[in-house]
A and B are shown apart, each in its own frame.
Chain A
Amino acid sequence: MHSDAFDRYHHGHSPIHTLDPRVKVLVTIAFIVSNALLPDGAWIAFALAWVFILIANAVSGLGVIFSLKRSFIAFPFALAAITVLFSIPGEPVTSFRFLMWHFTVTDAGLLRFVSIVVRSWLSVQMAILLVAVTEFPKIIHALRHLRVPAVIAVIISFLYRYLFVLADEVMRLLRAREARSGTVAGRRAGGSIAWRAKIAGNMAGQLFLRSYERSDRVYNAMLSRGYKGELMTIHPHHFHADDWRLGLIAFICILITQAAGRLP
């Protein structure tokens, strides 16, 4: 597996790519907070927020609907909100029978449900765009600047660095299991579920030991290259005029969205 197997970064030279990672992280967080603060049914504001994402997509040179294409990951979770359709009192919109239950969808419930899904869908698009235009080590570096404790930032960067190595290890384990799991047509294959779980547990234990021993080698290798307990970068970040300007424009857009959602 190649080291960028998990990477979501799309290389480019757009103004958004070159923006200081701190600005990008802050704007993303502000945008998501702003979505959470918008009242239910603030359709104009939701639309403005989406236009903001579309423009950001376009400026980044990844294509206007880049983030849209990958934004459906959070949709299964919408099931958790489906009960508000029926539980919030209001004018009935439609009702139906399912098996032995009778459901009535209310207008207030529908408004709340759609608002929750739209908020989540807008937020996830912004997060998708952030990792598409920012290299992950730069995001970690920005988090460090934004006062995330050093030890957490370092653990995250190690996780990012070694994930593909251990994923390779998992692939080998899974392939080995596959190779030893022959089936004969017409006969039941594999043991009980408990037995299968035990095999999976043994694999997890095996993976743990291999990871543990690898971490020793990693540490020795790092010591020999001058590791002093904190990760270094050869790209120190400085705010440029462009960073201030684009960041300010983004924040003003977010404030306008808020205002649009709250005007009577």
Chain B
Amino acid sequence: MFYSPVPLHIPDGFLSIIVAVICWAITALVLAVAVSRTNKSLGEKQVPLMGVMAAFIFAAQMINFPVAGGTSGHLLGGALAAIVLGPWAAMLVLTAVIAVQALLFQDGGLIVMGANILNMGLITAAIGYGLYRGVVNRQRSTKLAIAGAAAWLSVMAGALATAIQLWLSGTSSLQTVVITMLGVHALIGLGEALITVAALAFIFQTRPDLLDEASASAQGSRGWILAGVLISLAVVLLSPLASASPDGLERVAEDTGFLEFAQASPFEFIPDYTVPFLGETPLSTIIAGVIGALVVLGLSILAGRSLQKKS
């Protein structure tokens, strides 16, 4: 009743295990950096703040506005969170939001949660903050305009990343999924941009000190600007390429062998589903299965360990 799902949350089963694991690895790495940065720069006071802010993003997604014909637009909040909280804190906050959506509401899967966090939390925060950071010393109208553009681009980037993951998993054909995803989200992103700009304008008018604080506390602004601009460029360049001439992108993925790798199940590391020295018997297939499962388990434990050490 209060909760409206966002069409970017991938459920379990729609990504191949390899794409899911690669996305988890990237997400875990970025989150490990985010955790160590926030642990260093934030006092214990900031933790309750981030927790309440996570609830804020979740609740803000319930604010909708009627568009036309019974449909309504609402906020995703990635760019807004990055601008008001700073990038690392925003990433943690968005991660918590996506985790609760998956755990409590089954909106988005568990083993594909890495991909969902990457698409809706990390990429959106990087674009939102990176582009905004570039104009943080300009006048207010420029800042608002760039924030709006960043909000729109962040939604498009999330949609494009989702589309590419679905394609690599062999769940959708590239051209169709890119065109539909980007088409739908071009409109959703427009709503996102309008709400983000209006919310920022409201905060500028009432508590400008909060925004100065957030942007002053983050270091390494050059890196963020670079990351934001690079991801935006990638979206702008890749989108027409993938939707107009998908053969090009498919060709690259095929030539590098990545397509086959991403769509295969990891058991194919073990040729023909059998352990070589046992021959082609059912037992051999079962053992091959067990070995595969253990490899995945070991990888995830290793990833968990390294994450723990870094934090």
Contact = CB atoms under 8 A, between A and B. Distances in A.
Main secondary structure of the interface of A (DSSP, over half): helix
B60 A39 contact: no
Given A207-B59, A264-B282, A196 B65 contact: yes
Nearest to B200: A205
Interface residues of B, number: 101
Nearest to A196: B65
A89 B141 CA distance: 53
A150 B50 CA distance: 13
A218 B52 contact: yes
Interface string B74-115: 110000100010000000110111011011111101110000
A203 B63 contact: yes
A167 B51 CA distance: 14
Interface stretch (A11-19, A169-177, A236-244): A169-177
Contact of B110 (A28, A200, A209, A216): A28
A262 B202 contact: no
Interface of A: 5-6, 8, 28-29, 32-37, 39, 70, 73-74, 76-77, 80-81, 83-84, 86-87, 112, 116-124, 127-128, 130-131, 136, 139, 146-147, 149-152, 154-163, 165-167, 169-171, 173-174, 190, 193-194, 196-209, 211-212, 214-216, 218-219, 222, 227-229, 255, 258-259, 262-264
Given A80-B166, A167-B62, A194 B52 contact: no
Nearest to B281: A264
B169 to A, nearest CB: 9
A212 B210 contact: yes
B93 A128 contact: no
Given A124-B11, A155-B50, A201-B197, A87 B110 contact: no
Nearest to A166: B59
Nearest to A9: B104
A139 B102 CA distance: 13
A159 B12 contact: no
Contacts of B273: 262
Contacts, number: 315
B110 A127 contact: yes
A151 B92 contact: yes
Contacts of A70: 106
Contacts of A152: 31, 35, 92, 95-96, 99
Contact of B194 (A76, A146, A169, A198): A198
B5 interface: yes
Contacts of B73: 197, 200
Contacts of A229: 44, 47
A142 B108 CA distance: 20
Contacts of A36: 12-13, 15-17, 20, 111
Contacts of B63: 170, 173-174, 200, 203-204, 207
A229 B46 CA distance: 10
A199 B304 contact: no
Nearest to A36: B17
B293 A255 contact: yes
B207 interface: yes
Contacts of A206: 202
Contact of B17 (A33, A156, A194): A33
B282 A159 contact: no
A124 B103 CA distance: 10
A117 B13 CA distance: 7
B261 interface: no
Contacts of A202: 198-199, 202
Contacts of A155: 47, 50-51, 54, 92-93, 95-96
Contact of B48 (A33, A76, A158, A258): A158
A208 B203 contact: yes
Given A32-B111, A151-B311, 13 more contacts: A32-B109, A33-B293, A37-B289, A73-B11, A118-B13, A122-B13, A127-B106, A152-B99, A159-B96, A170-B2, A170-B59, A170-B60, A264-B285
Contacts of B109: 32, 74, 120, 123-124, 127
